[in-house]
Copies of this chain bind each other. A is one copy, B any other.
Amino acid sequence: MRLLMTIDELKAFLQSDFPQVSGEFTIEDLGEMRIRMRLNVSERHLRPGGTVSGPSIFALADVAVYLAVLAMIGPQGLAVTTSSSLDFMRKPVAGRDLIAECRLLKLGRVLAVGEVLVFSDGDDRPVARASMTYSIPPKT
């Protein structure tokens, strides 16, 4: 299977369909069945002690799988998360962005499954892992 969208097209899609959050994320790299994304950590993502909040890590993993799926099936706003599981393993390094390495393990007709490892930028010990299942709407 081949990529149907470029980084620039994904970026434009994110800006038009998710204007509220598009500034928080940067697409760093894109390939067939995989994507690397950055959470541009700012005050809004932090918890006391300078750690990045769980919901922010969830959001990063979720958008990574979403865009990895879109890149393969084309811009369809209606794919929705149906199941997710996350393990939080280490406190993120203070003052660093988070990097999500996402790989699609399955891209079926109705379900897609992606796995994500989240790192503090520049550190190779995973902060969190996530797996996400997306339901893909039927072609119309």
Whether A85 lies near B84 (C-beta < 8 A) is yes
Closest residue of chain B to A91, judged by CB?
B80
- A5 CA to B111 CA in the complex, in Å? 28
Chain B residues lying within 8 Å of A84, measured Cβ to Cβ, are 54, 85-88
A92 to chain B, nearest CB (A): 12
Interface residue count for A (Cβ, 8 Å)?
A: 40
Q: What are 21 sample pairs from A and B whose C-beta atoms fall under 8 A apart?
A: A17-B48, A18-B48, A53-B59, A54-B58, A54-B59, A54-B62, A55-B59, A55-B62, A82-B133, A83-B86, A84-B87, A84-B88, A85-B86, A87-B105, A87-B131, A89-B106, A90-B106, A110-B135, A111-B135, A115-B129, A129-B131
